C-alpha cells in the first residue's frame, strides 16, 4: 500500500501556511488516516520533490501526495472535506 504524504514546512513566517498545515493534519488525525509528514525545510531536495509531484515549480506547502499520485493542495483538500469526498481525493477509496 502506498504512503500518504503531507508536504509541510516547520520554517515559515506565513501564518496562513501554518494554519493550513495544522488544519490538514488535524482533519487527517481526526479521521484516523495515517500519513507521513514531510518537512521540506530540512532539505531542498524535498522541496523540489514536492514541486515536481505537484507539477508546479512555485508550489507551497501543504501539498498532499499518495505514493506517486498527486492529490492536491490545501484548497482542493478543504473542498474534498466539504463535499465528503476525502477518501477519493486522497486516492484511498
Q: What's the pLDDT tens digit per position in 59-74?
A: 999 999 999 999 999 9
Whether residue 80 is predicted with pLDDT greater than 90 in this model: the reply is: yes
pLDDT at 76 over 60: yes
- pLDDT the model gives residue 1: 56
DSSP state of 10: S
What residue spans define the domains of the chain? Answer: 4-90
Closest CA to 51 of 36, 37, 65: 65
Give the pLDDT confidence of 8-59 residue by residue, as tens digits.
Answer: 999 999 999 999 999 999 999 999 999 999 999 999 999 999 999 999 999 9
CATH no., domain 4-90: 3.40.30.10
Query: Interior CA angle at 21 toward 17 and 22, to 5°?
Result: 120
pLDDT value for 49: 97
Amino acid at each position: 500500500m502506498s504512503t500518504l504524504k503531507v508536504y509541510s514546512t516547520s520554517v515559515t513566517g506565513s501564518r496562513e501556511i501554518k494554519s493550513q498545515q495544522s488544519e490538514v493534519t488535524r482533519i487527517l488525525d481526526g479521521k484516523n488516516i495515517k500519513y507521513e509528514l514531510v518537512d521540506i525545510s530540512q532539505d531542498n531536495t524535498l522541496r523540489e520533490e514536492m514541486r515536481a509531484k505537484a507539477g508546479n515549480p512555485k508550489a507551497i506547502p501543504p501539498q498532499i501526495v499518495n505514493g506517486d499520485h498527486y492529490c492536491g493542495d490545501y484548497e482542493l483538500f478543504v473542498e474534498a472535506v466539504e463535499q465528503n469526498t476525502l477518501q477519493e481525493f486522497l486516492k484511498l477509496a
